[in-house]
Amino acid sequence: MRKAEWSVTVSTARCGMNSSCRDPAGPSASVAIPSSARPFTPSPNTARDKLAIIGGSNGGPLVGACPTQRPDLVGAAVAAVGAMDMLRFDRFGHGTGWTGDYGSPHDPEDFKALIGHSPVHNGRAGTHYPATLAITGDHDTRVMPMHSFKFAAALQAAQVGSVPVLLYLESSSGHGGGTTVTQAIDQTADIYAFLAKNLHITARLRL
């Protein structure tokens, strides 16, 4: 039996689509992951440069808000098919139906909450961001690919660190669907390769 001499600690948090995400004083989506990650760092289990976060769909903007608000918290972030431009989400794809969940960018009070955690609008120039991978599908009509495009571009422009901010565009793929088994395997392998490289994970196997 082979045993790898490293382990992965996973911290997950989820903000449902409900009115709590619309609180102007501090949307729960913007604080859930930082709050859940704190018990892991520092600890005997892991360290900041070995901790990664992954989220897709409604978890995409949640993951995107973490490095933009707390770039010091994790070593890597993977955000998939998420609504990253929270000020224009209602103009594209299925976004017109989300105002009941997220609030309306055209409402002054909702705008305050949305701009406070919109990943596209909270990048700060001259910041050392963690390694970040934004994933989207070129046929995603639910969350238009432009969200991931803009998020990756904003972080690339602001990044002064040496780690990458990358955009992963899956061809002939929708909102987490439409991919072949081969594509799904390839994407999963690419995600873990990205994490292994940027978290400096090396495995020594014992036979």
| Active-site residue list | 57, 175
Give the residue from 11, 64, 62 showing the smallest Cα distance to 37: 11
Q: Treating both helix axes as pointing N-terminal to C-terminal, what angle do 108-117 and 28-37 enclose, rounded to 10 degrees?
A: 30
How does DSSP classify residue 137? E
How does DSSP classify residue 81? S
- The conformational region for residue 121 under phi > 0 = left, psi -120 to 50 = alpha, else beta, is alpha
Give the residue from 36, 39, 35, 64 showing the smallest Cα distance to 150: 64
17: number of Cβ within 10 Å: 12
What sign results for the dihedral spanned by CA atoms 80, 20, 88, 75?
negative
163: number of Cβ within 10 Å: 15
Side-chain-facing half-sphere of 98: CA atoms under 13 Å:
25
